[in-house]
Amino acid sequence: MIRENQKTLNMIQVILDLVMVVVALVFAYLFRFSNYEGSHLRFESYVPTLVLLVPLHFFLYYFLGLYEPRRRKSLSFEVGKIIQANLLSTMILFTLLYIIKEIHYSRQVLVYFVIFTSILTITERAALRAALNNIRKKGYNKKHILIIGTGRLAKRLIMALKENHYLGYEIIGIVDENTTVGKNLAGVTVIGGISDLENIITERKIDEIFITISTREYDVFRKIIKICEKSGVRTQIVPDYARFIPAKPQMDEVEGIPLINIRHVPLDNFLKAFGKRAFDVVVSLAGLALCLPLFLIIIIGIKLDSPGPILFSQERVGLNKKNFMMYKFRTMKVQSAEESDQEWTTKEDRRKTRLGNMLRKTSLDELPQLWNVLKGDMSLVGPRPERPFFVEQFKEKIPRYMVKHHVRPGITGWAQVNGWRGDTSIRKRIECDIYYIENWTFMFDLKILALTIFKGFVNRNAY
């Protein structure tokens, strides 16, 4: 039943998406010409472009994964892919018009088209998600699932599925050979053993099974897989080594032997890294030019506030664990390198100057790092770099701390816009950093920059 519902839903989704393409072109034309009195092509002249645009959008959406089951995909994933597909389709259309030397089509209409298509499609998909969530709350369109195992992984999985109720999973029960029937785990009851599995699948109409037992129990594992395949039920394996691998592991192979890369880093891809670097160079150049008047005011303020240099440079650990000198406007009284490198800044730190306190609270002291970005030591967005003294301490105490050095450090980052800056939890900061590293996209960078502008500069933990 679930699979039939999925097919129907996919068909509805395709129809709605393609309707949005047509509606967007109408809106784009009206927006450009509704009050325009000069000569221009009638709307009928733009209709033939739909012969290209409608199938083109379908194929782009399909190849970018927008018609795959999205029960476990976030809305932000869909938004990024929709914008990517719409930009690609418009570029293809512009290229085609150039090749055939069609000069009468309004380029403004086509620009408005990509904007309206994105807005309408995102709105339509968000509304459909909301409708599905509402339906699932009422008990419909749910997947009946079974969990095999009663260990730590099973408990974590149950808690995760309950917290993310919008996924529409209904846990029917737990199957475990070594646990008494009727026993409760995180609010879910054990309803049988492995020997009962085939009957439970049939009688309870199970849609999906999650296996959380250890692969060391090879014979039991093989028996479970055999029963699941015989019953035709979809099966998910939660590996007992999950704590060692990322949420999206990179798979490779050698002569058919599967390999799992325990740390998938999107920025290892040359084109992605090149695009991010090009963006950094352009924005840092523009930022340095635009900030020159502000720099002048801050420089004068620092000179009037306290004796000492204008800039403060400090050794930090960056990409591939290589050290570099990071620049800031000086916000503290002049002190020895040993004092500044081995002492953490606190809220009531007496070393701060009056102007320095204000610069820190507004993060204006970080602006000289635009020069670090231009040089290539840093990026606009990434994990914040730390001093070598603290890196040596943290790498012994905090698991996965050194993973942050797989990418360039940033002026701002996912941890900072979530409030983990200053004298706050290093563990939480690293969790955010690793999430950023493993889930990097250009849109994610833009999101962090936007959040930095709206809530990241002034922060109660910035001192």
pLDDT tens per residue across span 43-101 = 777 788 888 888 889 988 888 888 876 656 677 888 888 998 888 888 888 888 778 77
Q: Which domain holds residue 164?
A: 143-244
The contacts of residue 47 (CB under 8 Å, 6+ apart) are none
Look up residue 109 and give its two tokens: 């209409």
Q: How far apart are CA 92 and CA 60, in angstroms?
A: 11
276 and 404: one domain? yes
329 and 408: one domain? yes
Q: For residue 433, how many C-alpha atoms fall within 13 Å in the half-sphere facing its CB? A: 28
161 and 118: one domain? no
Q: For residue 431, how many C-alpha atoms fall within 13 Å in the half-sphere facing its CB? A: 9
Where does residue 256 fall: left (phi above 0), alpha (psi -120 to 50 degrees), or beta otherwise?
left
- CATH number (domain holding residue 196): 3.40.50.720
Q: 312: burial class by Cβ within 10 Å (0-12, 13-18, 19+)? A: buried
Q: Give 86-145 pLDDT, tens digit per residue.
A: 888 888 888 887 787 776 777 788 888 889 999 999 999 888 888 877 777 666 667 888
- For residue 296, is it within any domain? yes
59 and 121: one domain? yes
295 and 438: one domain? yes
156 and 43: one domain? no
Beta strand residue intervals within 319-409, DSSP E: 323-329, 379-381
Q: Helices marked H in 65-216 — which ranges?
A: 75-99, 107-137, 152-163, 197-203
Which pLDDT band holds residue 463 (cuts at 50, 70, 90)? very low
- For residue 265, is it within any domain? no
- For residue 461, is it within any domain? no
Q: What domain count does the chain have?
A: 3
87 and 104: one domain? yes
- For residue 326, is it within any domain? yes
Would you say residue 461 has pLDDT above 70? no
Among candidate residues 89, 116, 137, the one where a domain is terminated: 137
Among candidate residues 112, 137, 162, the one where a domain is terminated: 137
Q: What is the pTM of this model?
A: 0.57
Q: How far apart are the first and last CA of the chain?
A: 57
Q: What is the pLDDT of residue 6?
A: 64
293 and 342: one domain? yes
Task: Using DSSP, state whether 91 is helix, strand or coil.
Answer: helix
169 and 50: one domain? no
Look up residue 200 and give its two tokens: 């439970």
Q: How far apart are CA 259 and CA 248, in angstroms?
A: 13
As a whole number of Å, the CA-based R_g of the chain is 28
321 and 441: one domain? yes
- Block residue for tokens 């010409």: 33
- For residue 362, is it within any domain? yes
124 and 202: one domain? no
Q: Give 152-201 pLDDT, tens digit per residue.
A: 888 888 888 888 776 778 889 999 888 888 888 888 999 998 888 888 98
394 and 450: one domain? yes
- For residue 250, is it within any domain? no
Q: For residue 116, how many C-alpha atoms fall within 13 Å in the half-sphere facing its CB? A: 21
Sign, CA torsion 116/122/128/134:
negative
Among candidate residues 107, 137, 167, the one where a domain is terminated: 137
Q: How far apart are CA 178 and CA 151, in angstroms?
A: 11
- For residue 62, is it within any domain? yes
- For residue 12, is it within any domain? yes
Proportion of the chain above pLDDT 70, given as a percent: 85
